């Protein structure tokens, strides 16, 4: 009597063939993943290669004292949305060599936002400010205010985000350990958790202030040789005159005009085109 369907031997051979088919499919899939990974890696290298080349060329021109050419290549890097404290720092040095103190301060300030505790950047900002026509004194700070400001600027915002993440992770681990720890260890866990919680609150508060400041506070540097602050947009009454390199806080913008304020509390309207805004 003939049986319908497959014999045991034929079923085994078909299963083996199906196994080989699936295995070949996995191999093809792995090859595709490797190919696309290699393609993405090569593409990223091709994108990064011009930036590295421009940076090397700019540094070479700077060493040769060809500052105009160096500025061109540094500005190519900044125009490609690359945020690097080293690039802005070198660009500031180049502009100072070209006797452009306003642009030099603008780029130093941008570099300081990316690397707030770099001593070379701070030293160059102080040096260029000492050469300006307008030397506006900053409000005096107490010792405690100086310490708090230093701690606030100790870490950049991105680093603070990671610090808060790991502090919260450590608190979660301590909480989980405390659920099963013996009673004589729980007191130490509470002490450690309190310290970590205090550090998390301080770091989070500093981080929140930086986020708020980045979103609401704008500062600018005067780039023209001199600029008059007037009583209103397109007004005629000159309130005060400042020179290249003076730093303002932008209080309001209206069309092509900006209401700027000095640390002394004096304010006035200036054309936005004469200012270099410290932002990315």
The residues facing 267 across adjacent strands are 261
Domain range annotation of the chain:
1-131, 143-216, 218-277
Determine how β-strand 238-243 pairs with β-strand 226-230.
antiparallel
Q: Quote the pLDDT of residue 39.
A: 46
Instruction: Please give the CATH number for the structural domain made up of 218-277.
Output: 2.30.30.40
State the CATH class of domain 1-131. mainly alpha
Within 10 angstroms of residue 83's Cβ, the number of other Cβ atoms is 13
pLDDT at 258: 93
Judge if 1-131 and 218-277 fold alike in CATH terms: no
Q: What is the arithmetic mean of pLDDT over 57-76?
A: 95
pLDDT at 35 over 80: no
Q: Cα dihedral sign for 129, 134, 135, 136? A: negative
Q: What does the pLDDT read at residue 23?
A: 52
In the chain, alpha helices (H): 8-63, 67-79, 85-97, 101-114, 119-130, 143-152, 157-180, 183-216
pLDDT given for residue 205 in this prediction = 94
Report pLDDT digits (tens) over 129-187.
999 988 777 667 788 888 888 888 888 888 899 999 999 999 999 999 888 888 888 88
């Amino acid at each position: 009597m003939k049986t319908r369907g497959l014999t045991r031997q034929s079923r085994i051979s078909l299963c083996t063939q199906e196994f080989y088919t699936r295995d070949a499919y996995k191999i093809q899939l792995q090859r595709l993943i490797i190919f696309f990974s290699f393609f993405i890696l090569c593409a990223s290298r091709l994108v990064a290669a011009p930036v590295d080349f421009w940076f090397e060329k700019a540094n070479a021109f700077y060493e040769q004292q060809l500052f105009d050419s160096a500025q061109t290549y540094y500005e190519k890097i900044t125009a490609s949305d690359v945020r690097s404290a080293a690039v802005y720092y070198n660009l500031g040095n180049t502009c100072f060599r070209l006797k452009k103190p306003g642009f030099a301060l603008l780029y130093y300030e941008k570099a300081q936002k990316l690397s707030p505790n770099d001593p070379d950047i701070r030293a160059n900002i102080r040096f260029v400010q000492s050469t300006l026509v307008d030397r506006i004194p900053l409000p005096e700070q107490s010792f405690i205010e100086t310490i708090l400001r230093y701690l606030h600027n100790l870490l950049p915002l991105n680093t603070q985000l990671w610090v808060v993440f790991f502090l919260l992770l450590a608190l979660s681990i301590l909480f989980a350990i405390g659920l099963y720890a013996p009673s004589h260890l729980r007191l130490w866990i509470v002490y450690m958790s309190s310290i970590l919680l205090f550090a998390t609150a301080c770091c989070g508060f500093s981080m929140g202030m930086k986020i708020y400041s980045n979103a609401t506070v704008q500062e600018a540097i005067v780039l023209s040789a001199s600029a008059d602050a007037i009583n209103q947009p397109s007004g005629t009454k000159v309130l005060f005159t400042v020179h290249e390199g003076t730093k303002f806080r932008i209080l309001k913008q209206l069309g092509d005009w900006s209401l700027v304020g000095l640390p002394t509390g004096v304010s006035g309207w200036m054309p936005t085109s004469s200012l270099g805004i410290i932002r990315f």
